[in-house]
C-alpha cells in the first residue's frame, strides 16, 4: 500500500512501556481489543503491560499463556512486566528474558495493586536476586508516610496555596532513597515509574550522575495536569502518585527536555465511570492515557516552548516515546527507530491540526478521558505496525482500524550482559 504522507511527519511507532490492559480478571475496566485500539489511534505500536491483574502475573510460565490469550485481540505488539509478591521472589530465578522485560515492584499500594512489598528484608532480597540475574526492576516508589495525607478525602483544596500546604512535598523521596541505597548495595538496574515531584526528580538525577544504574519515567498526566485541575476533574485525576503542583510540573518538563528522563509512559490504568463516581475516598486511582500519550506530550511542548521548531519538537517526541523506551527495555533491534522495510513501525503525525478532544474520540473501554475538552495540537493520522496499517484516521468521520495480529516480541537483553547471559540456564 502506498500512503501519501502529504506534509506529515514520520515518527517511529510509539512504545508505551507502562499500560494496564487489565487481562485477566479486570476486563470490565479495560481489555486488549480496546486498549490496543486506543494505542494505535495514539500512534503507539508496542506496549509493555503491567502485572497487577487478577490473578497477578507472578509465575514466569504463565507469560506464554497470557500472550496467547491476548494476541488475537491485540492490534499492537507487546511484552510484559512480571510481578513479584512476598511469596514469589524465588520465581525470579527462573524468569527468562522472553517472558518479561523487567520485574514490577509495588513498594506502596492501592486498590488495584494488592501485592505490596513493604518488608525491607524481602525488598533487599528482590534487589539481590534481580542483580544476580541481570533483571531490571521497575518500581512504584511512593511514600506510605504521605499516603493518607495526600488522600483526597481531605477537604478539597480551595486554591493553589491551600493545595501546596495540604499536600506534603516529599512524594516518593523516602521510597526513592531506599531504592537508591539498594542499588548502591546490590548494583541492580532500577527504573522508577511515574516520578511526580521535583525533589524525586533531582534525587534520581543525582544518583544517575553518580554512576548508579538508576533511570526514571515521567507520565503524560504529570506533565499535563496540576493542582488547580483537581477541583475541576476530581476523581478523574485521582492518581497514584497524585497530581502535584504547577512547580513540580514545570520541573518535570525541565527534566524531560534536558534528557534526564529515560522514557515517557502513559500509566494507562482505566477505571469505569461508575467506579470513579464512588465517594472520592473509594474511587480507585488511575486514568486511561495510551491514546493521549504522544498527543499530550506534543501539545504540551508546543504550549510550553512556543519558539521551538516543529522539527525539534518531533525529535523530542521520537526520543521520549520510541528510542528511549526501546533502549531501556531491549526492544532496539526492531522497534524504536524508523526502519526502512516491510516490517516498519511508524505513525504519520500531522503537527499542525488542532482539535478538541471529546469522549467520542476515545477508544479505551471505559469511554472517558481526563483530556475531554482539551484543544490538542497534532494527531497521528495513520499508524503502521510491522508494515500493516492499524489505524487510519485521515477521515475523522470514518476512522478505520486494521486487523488484530499483534505479536509477543522476542527478547533482547534488558540489561547488557545480564539477563540474556542466563538465557540457556533452564529449559
Ligand atoms: O493510579 C494508579 N493506578 N497508579 C498505579 O500505580 C496503578 C494504577 C492501577 O492499576 O489502577
Ligand atoms: Zn504505579
Ligand atoms: Zn501503573
pLDDT band (50, 70, 90) for residue 289: very high
Distance 69 CA to ligand 1 centre (A): 23
C-beta of 286 in contact with ligand 1 (< 6 A): yes
CB-ligand 1 contact for 20 (6 Å cutoff):
yes
Decide whether any atom of ligand 1 lies within 6 Å of the 131 Cβ. no
- pLDDT at residue 426 in the model: 36
Residues labelled as active-site residues = 267
- The pLDDT value given to residue 324: 95
pLDDT for 163 beyond 70:
no
Contacts with 232 (C-beta within 8 Å, 6 or more apart), sequence order:
none
- The stretch 242-252 carries a mean pLDDT of 89
Tell which atom from ligand 1 comes closest to the C-alpha of 111: 11
Q: Which residues line ion ligand 2, judged by CB < 5 Å? A: 140
pLDDT in tens, 300-310: 999 999 999 99
Q: Which residues pair with 389 in a beta bridge?
A: 384
Quick one: pLDDT band at residue 50, thresholds 50, 70, 90? very high
* Among 66, 64, 4, 76, CA closest to 268: 76
> Distance from CA of residue 330 to its chain's centroid?
16
Q: What's the predicted TM-score (pTM) here?
A: 0.93
Mean pLDDT value across residues 266-295: 90
Amino acid at each position: 500500500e502506498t500512503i501519501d504522507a502529504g506534509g506529515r511527519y514520520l515518527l517511529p511507532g510509539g512504545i508505551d512501556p507502562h499500560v494496564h490492559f487489565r487481562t485477566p480478571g479486570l476486563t470490565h475496566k479495560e481489555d486488549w481489543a480496546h486498549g490496543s485500539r486506543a494505542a494505535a489511534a495514539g500512534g503507539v505500536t508496542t506496549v509493555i503491560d503491567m502485572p497487577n491483574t487478577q490473578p497477578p502475573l507472578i509465575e514466569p510460565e504463565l507469560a506464554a499463556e497470557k500472550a496467547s490469550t491476548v494476541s488475537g485481540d491485540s492490534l499492537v505488539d507487546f511484552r510484559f512486566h512480571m510481578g513479584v509478591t512476598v511469596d514469589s521472589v524465588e520465581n525470579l530465578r527462573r524468569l527468562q528474558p522472553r517472558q518479561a522485560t523487567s520485574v514490577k515492584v509495588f513498594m506502596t499500594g492501592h486498590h488495584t495493586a494488592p501485592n505490596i512489598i513493604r518488608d525491607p528484608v524481602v525488598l533487599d532480597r528482590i534487589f539481590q536476586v534481580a542483580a544476580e540475574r541481570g533483571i531490571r526492576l521497575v518500581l512504584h516508589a511512593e511514600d506510605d508516610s504521605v499516603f493518607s495525607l495526600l488522600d483526597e478525602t481531605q477537604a478539597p483544596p480551595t486554591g493553589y496555596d491551600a493545595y501546596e500546604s495540604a499536600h506534603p512535598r516529599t512524594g516518593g523521596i523516602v521510597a526513592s532513597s531506599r531504592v537508591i541505597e539498594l542499588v548502591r548495595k546490590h548494583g541492580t538496574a532500577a527504573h522508577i515509574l511515574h516520578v511526580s515531584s521535583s525533589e524525586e526528580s533531582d534525587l534520581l538525577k543525582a544518583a544517575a550522575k553518580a554512576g548508579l544504574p538508576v533511570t526514571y519515567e515521567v507520565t503524560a498526566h504529570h506533565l499535563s495536569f496540576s493542582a488547580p485541575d483537581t477541583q475541576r476533574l476530581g476523581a478523574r485525576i485521582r492518581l497514584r502518585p497524585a497530581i502535584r503542583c504547577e512547580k513540580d510540573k514545570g520541573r518535570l518538563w525541565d527534566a524531560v527536555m534536558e534528557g534526564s528522563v529515560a522514557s515517557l509512559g502513559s500509566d494507562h490504568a482505566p477505571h469505569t465511570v461508575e467506579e470513579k463516581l464512588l465517594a472520592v475516598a473509594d474511587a480507585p486511582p488511575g486514568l486511561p492515557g495510551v491514546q493521549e500519550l504522544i498527543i499530550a506530550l506534543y501539545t504540551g511542548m508546543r504550549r510550553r516552548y512556543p519558539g521551538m521548531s516543529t522539527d525539534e519538537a518531533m525529535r523530542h517526541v521520537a526520543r521520549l516515546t520510541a528510542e528511549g523506551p526501546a533502549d531501556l527495555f531491549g526492544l532496539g533491534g526492531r522497534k524504536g527507530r524508523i526502519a526502512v522495510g516491510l516490517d516498519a513501525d511508524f505513525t504519520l503525525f500531522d503537527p499542525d491540526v488542532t482539535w478538541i478532544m471529546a469522549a467520542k474520540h476515545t477508544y479505551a473501554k471505559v469511554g472517558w478521558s481526563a483530556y475531554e475538552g482539551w484543544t490538542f495540537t497534532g494527531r497521528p493520522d495513520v499508524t503502521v505496525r510491522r508494515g500493516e496499517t492499524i489505524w487510519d484516521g485521515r477521515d475523522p468521520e470514518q476512522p478505520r482500524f486494521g486487523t488484530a495480529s499483534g505479536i509477543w516480541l522476542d527478547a533482547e537483553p534488558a540489561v547488557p550482559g545480564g539477563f540474556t547471559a542466563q538465557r540457556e540456564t533452564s529449559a
